[in-house]
Amino acid sequence: MSGRETYRKIITSKENTEKINKDNIKLMDRFLKNLSTKRSPKTVENYKSNLIIFFTWNLLENENIFFIDMKKFMIMDFFDYCVTELKWGSNRYAQMHSCISSFSNWIENIYDDRYPNFRNLVKKIEKLPKETVRKKSVFKKEELDSLMKWLDEKNLVNEECLLALIMASGSRASELIRFKTTMIDENHTAFDGLFLETTEEIKVKGRGVNGKYIPRYIIKDMFLPYYKKWLPKRNRIMEENRVSHDFIFIKKDGSPAELGTIRSWMNKWDNVLNSHWYPHAGRHFWCSYLMQIGLEKQLVQELQSWSSDTLVDIYNDNTAKDMKWKSLYKLKDALKDENSHIE
């Protein structure tokens, strides 16, 4: 199955289209109506299809926010997703880039009195080189351990805790900002005490605008030391700024971190890793790591509350040679028997 088919099957649907932000639908409809006076029906339909894909992604991955309020990093996240997850080539990428850019130009020109500060952010996002597909970065544990060491040397304790939570839970960026201190209890464990289970359910991506709420499972020994290291500094910052809330990750003034806050932290990691840290990199690492060390596919599925084990295959970047095959002992035993006959 191709990336595009997978995207349409999993993301776009009549149900989700009906839940797209109504203000975004209004803007889109007016844009398409205006476009229909200048372009062919087929071209208008292509624009509509692309905008539905974009706004469905926004619904499921970006809190369904109003297009006018979007930040550059959000648009970049979408295009990163198109390349790394959907494996779009330069031509498909360019089509979407042109579509959203044209839409933005139209808003900038037509709604300049209503949204005077709006600018076309897509112009600042480069197109892919012709006939080039950006290779998805597949990070090994050794690489992320090196990043963790660099963060320690720079005394970026907050980012250490963030990276540890990503590695230990495979959580998305939008989920990370929802974690609270009240959810973490080192005595509240599951699966032979190897995983922390959050004491409250957390909102994650799911079909529809409301998503779904599930408990999160976190590899205990991979996360807890960094959490305990960050907590005193977090509490001190909040006390100094007279701020009170339960969110784990915070800004410099003690207020809860936003999506843009942690994305700005992650943007620095590219230089240390010498590779692009894209939005789903952490989930790919988490799934690949657990599969490589030999956890059952069904357990990995259960830990993420996935409805299908096909998602394990999507996020597992291991080759056959990377895996630990439990059945190899049978070949070893057979070879021993064979050698005993030779002797």
Give per-residue pLDDT as tens, 202-227.
Answer: 887 654 445 678 899 999 999 999 99
Amino acid 101: pLDDT:
94
Residue 256, token pair as written in the block: 């809860």
Q: What is the gyration radius of the CA atoms in the chain, in angstroms?
A: 23
Domain ranges of the chain: 3-124, 141-277
Report the 10 Å Cβ neighbour count for 292.
17
Hey, is 195 helix, strand or coil?
Answer: strand
pLDDT band, residue 3 (cuts 50/70/90) = very low
- The residue among 8 and 224 whose pLDDT is bigger is 224
Amino acid 135: pLDDT:
56
Hey, is 206 helix, strand or coil?
Answer: coil
Instruction: Identify the burial level of 123 via C-beta atoms within 10 angstroms of its C-beta, where 0-12 means exposed, 13-18 middle and 19 or more buried.
Output: exposed
pLDDT band, residue 319 (cuts 50/70/90) = low
Contact (CB, 8 A) for 19 and 59: yes
Amino acid 334: pLDDT:
61
CATH code of 141-277, in short, is: 1.10.443.10
Contact (CB, 8 A) for 165 and 171: yes
| Residue 77 amino acid letter | D
Cα separation of 27 and 102, whole Å? 13
Contact (CB, 8 A) for 209 and 56: no
Amino acid 212: pLDDT:
77
Amino acid 206: pLDDT:
56
Cα separation of 78 and 73, whole Å? 9
| Residue 58 amino acid letter | N
Report the 10 Å Cβ neighbour count for 41.
8
Instruction: Identify the burial level of 323 via C-beta atoms within 10 angstroms of its C-beta, where 0-12 means exposed, 13-18 middle and 19 or more buried.
Output: middle
- The residue among 310 and 150 whose pLDDT is bigger is 150
Give the rounded percent of residues in the chain with a pLDDT score beyond 90. 50
pLDDT band, residue 5 (cuts 50/70/90) = very low
Report the 10 Å Cβ neighbour count for 229.
15
Q: What are the C-alpha distances in Å from 148 to residues 166, 262, 302?
A: 12, 16, 28
Residue keyed to tokens 């990043």: 147
Give the rounded percent of residues in the chain with a pLDDT score beyond 70. 81
Amino acid 2: pLDDT:
37
Contact (CB, 8 A) for 115 and 167: no
Residue 308, token pair as written in the block: 């299908």
